[in-house]
Amino acid sequence: MTPETDMATVFRTQNEHGSRYTVQADPLRKAADDTSESPVAALRAEGAGVSYRTRRGQTEALCEVNLQVGDGEFVAVLGPSGCGKSTLLKLAAGLVAPSQGRVLLDGHPIKAPGRDTGVAFQKPNLLPWKTVLGNVLLPARTLKLPMAEACQRAARLLDLVGLSAFARHYPNELSGGMQQRVGIARMLLGDPRLLLMDEPFAALDALTREALTFELQRIWLSQSKSVLFITHSIPEAVFLADRVIVMSARPGRVIEDFHVMLPRPRLPETMSSVQFVGACTHLRSYLQ
């Protein structure tokens, strides 16, 4: 079976009923029978703790965090401000080392940022003097991707995020939502297995944020990546995730690990379903 025939992508088409999702081949997605990949867990934290040392003393950000993100699983993290969500993401990215316990990617301790991981933050931090295509291509050199292959992939990713027509535009010519989509394309350039997203839509207006939430589901369904997604929005977490982790106030610990049983693809009308509202109410009870 070739990657092209084995792979499926879900894309959105408009009709008189609004958005609909259908399935077609996606050359960007990895082959499911690629034996170089572990079939199980992507990310695992075992008793992980982080204490920051500053001149004013020590801040315990995370304590005894146990969680895992399965292969191809979408896990959202909710928790009060300052509870250590970004710290958790930095642990998974290899940007912070655990003070206690360990954090593993495919069974190996994460020691430094690696090419298996893609990261997106609240601001996409695009270089203003580079075009959209140039920004998507930024990681190519660090990842040692052959430039011809990287250009082809960048063009396909811009298509995936709906920005093909803007490849030669500059960031200041784009809306905030479009800039964030450039950031998502850039994150996907090296075909990382694990996506780490820290409130990627927090700086956007409510309508753009909702539109990008649908976009992210579409992209994730086509890419089969493991995702750790930090958000302050309960509905966003429930809409996107297979599981929602809730953390306590600092030092952050996992106080709930909730399986979202809603079928996929989730549609705008999903948000008014009894199950969706029930899941939001359940999660909100941990955050009051």
Q: Which of ligand ATP, Mg ion, none does 59 bind, CB closer than 5 to 8 A by kind?
A: ligand ATP
Tell me the pairing of strands 226-230 and 243-247: unpaired
Tell me the pairing of strands 43-54 and 194-198: unpaired
Cα–Cα distances in angstroms (integers) from residue 265 to residues 24, 161, 249, 270, in the given order: 14, 17, 32, 9
Any idea what DSSP says for residue 229? E
Q: Which is nearer to ligand ATP, 160 or 230 (CB)?
A: 230
Q: Which is nearer to ligand ATP, 83 or 145 (CB)?
A: 83
Touching ligand ATP, residues 68-97 (CB under 6 A): 79, 81-87
Q: How far is the CB of 252 from ligand ATP (least distance, A)?
A: 7
Question: Residue 57 interacts with ligand ATP (CB under 6 A)?
Answer: no
**Residues ≥6 apart with Cβ < 8 Å to 264:** 217, 221
Q: Among the candidate windows 54-62, 67-75, 98-106, 272-280, which touches ligand ATP by CB under 6 A?
A: 54-62
Q: Which of Mg ion, ligand ATP, none does 213 bind, CB closer than 5 to 8 A by kind?
A: none
Question: Residue 231 interacts with ligand ATP (CB under 6 A)?
Answer: no
Question: Residue 61 interacts with ligand ATP (CB under 6 A)?
Answer: yes
Tally of residues, the chain: 288
Q: How many residues bind Mg ion, per CB under 5 A?
A: 1
Question: Residue 59 interacts with ligand ATP (CB under 6 A)?
Answer: yes
Distance, CA of 171 to CA of 169 (rounded, Å) = 7
Distance, CA of 31 to CA of 78 (rounded, Å) = 32
Question: Residues 126, 240, 14, 28: is their CA dihedral positive or negative?
Answer: positive
Q: Which residues pair with 165 in a beta bridge?
A: none
Distance, CA of 235 to CA of 281 (rounded, Å) = 10
C-beta separation of 169 from 199 below 8 A: no
Q: Which is nearer to ligand ATP, 225 or 250 (CB)?
A: 250
| Single-letter amino acid code for the residue at 90 | K
Q: What is the DSSP string of 112-162?
A: S--TTEEEE-SS----TTS-HHHHHTTHHHHTT--HHHHHHHHHHHHHHTT
Q: Which is nearer to ligand ATP, 89 or 260 (CB)?
A: 89
Q: Which is nearer to ligand ATP, 81 or 272 (CB)?
A: 81
Q: Among the candidate windows 20-28, 44-52, 83-91, 107-115, which touches Mg ion by CB under 5 A?
A: 83-91
Q: Among the candidate windows 27-35, 85-93, 162-170, 256-264, which touches Mg ion by CB under 5 A?
A: 85-93
| Single-letter amino acid code for the residue at 272 | S
Candidates 85, 87, 45; CA nearest to 66 is: 45
Question: Residue 86 interacts with Mg ion (CB under 5 A)?
Answer: yes
Q: Which is nearer to ligand ATP, 49 or 190 (CB)?
A: 49
State which of residues 11, 21, 52, 170 lies at the interface with ligand ATP (CB under 6 A): 52
Q: Among the candidate windows 17-25, 53-61, 159-167, 181-189, which touches ligand ATP by CB under 6 A?
A: 53-61
Query: Residue 212 is encoded by which pair of tokens?
Result: 């990008």
Q: Which is nearer to ligand ATP, 84 or 200 (CB)?
A: 84
Point out which residues bind ligand ATP (CB under 6 A): 52, 54, 59, 61, 79, 81-87, 250
